[in-house]
Structure 1
């Protein structure tokens, strides 16, 4: 059976619920605070809850945050490939969630930023596996050096999935193009797609990005759903589902995990995108970073909507506001 092999970062999120982010130099009282495992864990948990076997192939440390990460992975039935990295804890992300659901991040890197050639040598991939790369991993110099040397050797039978993330603008252009050239799928929010292409319209951005990779492109447009661009077809808009927004954190991760799980079942990409839109809609009605629903929850959520909303070639969703990590 195919697997999701994740080479991103599993970290601890310190989540602060605030009315609005403070101005520079200001202060604000948080309504609540919680520590939850997030980052790459969000995608892994989303895929696992959809029934796809998942392996975390990134690094993890030896401190209390790393122990929290491993416990969360075990609770979701996610295998851990790498040994403990001594004398370094896993990273911390301060996540500020405002009343309108928008969120901001401050990241403190840890063990997950220490991926090297020796660690990648432990990654054994089989045909049909989905290999997940992120802009967050590539943003760390050590990880990027190891990954860009290792990636060209990944066999063609492995499906490479890339989520550029908001830090994609900081990546060296030559390294980014090497990664894109090996990608079978790119999934980005509208702001990230604009960064990658210079085009504000999500449909135009999806079309342009599609020319730079060997597979398909998803551009996530929040409540408007997503744009899907396949090899020989014009991009199509797969409509989203309207739900009350509680917390946008991890919505894009829920979308990616559900989409990959559907592809692994042999589902058509358009149907997989509709399913992923539903998973993301459920996720934003819940608080926390890893809010991806189970397969049964998506199936029960709105089967009529999932069947009745075909992709629309002519529709043009409005560009979504920048939403890091969406």
Structure 2
């Protein structure tokens, strides 16, 4: 039986807006507007399902949407354990995509804000080899308390933890020291270049690795078109380039990367092979609209 991964994170509906040019205040601009399933945790689970990983996804959704989401994830090969919320609807994210593929977000996390300890029972950890948590689940007090409780239970069982830093804006909001304290000791930290800079106060790749490697066993820094780097307390151990592809929408690229990397690690791949798998998954993701595999 393959190693099982428990993913904890947001479920969102992504409204993706691709304007033909700059926004015109007070007037119209033609645009492509698409509706896609999303959310960082949901994206990670979907990409893991796409590579036939044994994956469980725990999250919270609006009560009216539970059955639809369960059926959707089942179709992706993901076991979804979804708590329902009678007060808040499922989350919605509006993504505005620039012509170069860069994104800006408007976020209503909805039911995700009410994720609680009862939604993450210890039984979710049965037969699990790795817990993957999106940083979005750490940026509000309620979900953060639930996730930190799950971290403690996972560590008691010697289950590895991987954390995706997720958002520069929210890292600034909650404070770097707090985020690092909440996640310190995790087996993996995944961050993009901007997140690594915020977390370390440095723009130098090797220093970022050494600083973050003092808190995490393995550090991966995603470098966009330049590929990715892997290392730890001794600095950069490995860098690999990204293939040249046409970027349509970078939504979910980091989530695809995490799925490719971690599924390969749990499959016994070397770090070089795993990093290559993460980069390949991220490159696949940016060539289509939306954060999940089509």
Q: Tell me, in whole angstroms, the C-alpha distance in 2 between the residues paired with 1:159 and 1:118.
A: 21
2:194 equivalent among 188, 191, 202 = 191
In structure 2, the residue matched to 1:98 is 98
**1:28 & 1:254 partners in 2: Cα distance?**
34
Question: What's the CA shift string for 1:211-256, capped at 9, x where partnerless?
Answer: 112x101000011111100465643212221112111111111111
- What is the distance in 2 between the residues matched to 1:202 and 1:234? 8
Q: 1:143 to 1:57 in 2, by over 3 A?
A: same
Distance 1:174 1:275 in 2: 31
Counterpart of 1:9? Answer: 10
For the aligned residues, what is the CA RMSD?
2.2
In the alignment, which of 270, 287, 290 is matched to residue 289 of structure 2? Answer: 287
Kept in 2, the 8 Å contact 1:96–1:105? The answer is yes
User: 2:208 aligned with 1:205, yes or no?
Assistant: yes
Counterpart position of 2:119: 119
Question: Which stretch of the first structure deviates more once superposed, 263-272 or 139-148?
Answer: 139-148
User: Structure 1 segments of 4 or more deviating over 6 A?
Assistant: none
**Contact 1:127/1:157 (CA < 8 Å) preserved in 2?**
no
Q: Which moved more, 1:167-176 or 1:55-64?
A: 167-176
Distance (Å, rounded) in 1 between the aligned partners of 2:75 and 2:233: 38
Q: How does 1:45-56 map to 2 (within 5 A)?
A: 45-56=46-57
CA contact (8 A) 1:59 1:82 kept: yes
Go from structure 1 to structure 2 and tell me whether the alpha carbon gap of 1:67 and 1:178 turns closer, same or farther (over 3 Å shift).
same
**Higher relative strand content:** 2
> How far has the Cα of 1:101 moved from its partner?
1.0
Matches of 2:85 and 2:231, distance apart in 1 = 40
Q: How does 1:50-65 map to 2 (within 5 A)?
A: 50-64=51-65
Deviation at 1:36, TM superposition (A): 0.9
SS at match of 1:41: helix
TM-aligned CA deviation for residue 53 of structure 1: 1.4
56 and 105 in structure 1: CA distance in 2 versus 1, 3 angstrom threshold? same
Verify the 8 A CA contact 2:207 2:235 in the aligned structure 1.
no
Question: Is the Cα–Cα contact under 8 Å of residues 50 and 76 in structure 2 kept in the other structure?
Answer: yes
1:311 aligns with none
Mind listing any 5+ residue stretches in structure 1 that lack a counterpart?
Answer: 293-326
Q: Distance in 2 between matches of 1:21 and 1:70?
A: 38
Q: Does the CA contact (< 8 Å) of 1:97 and 1:104 recur in 2?
A: yes
Deviation, 1:175, is 4.2
The answer on whether the counterparts of 1:12 and 1:69 sit within 8 Å (CA) in structure 2 is no
In structure 2, stretches of 5+ residues that fail to align are none
Q: How do 1:8-47 residues align onto structure 2 when only pairs under 5 Å count?
A: 8-22=9-23, 25-39=25-39, 40-47=41-48
Q: Please tell me whether residue 223 in structure 1 is matched to residue 225 in structure 2.
A: yes
Q: Deviations over 1:273-326 (max 9, x none)?
A: 01111121122121222138xxxxxxxxxxxxxxxxxxxxxxxxxxxxxxxxxx
* TM-score using structure 2 length: 0.90
Q: With structure 1 as the length reference, what TM-score do the two structures score?
A: 0.81
Is 1:79 matched with 2:79?
yes
- The alpha-carbon deviation at position 50 of structure 1 amounts to 0.9
Residue 309 of structure 1 is matched in structure 2 by: none
Distance 1:201 1:270, change over 3 A: same
Alpha-carbon distance change, 171 to 123 in structure 1, aligned in 2, over 3 angstroms = farther
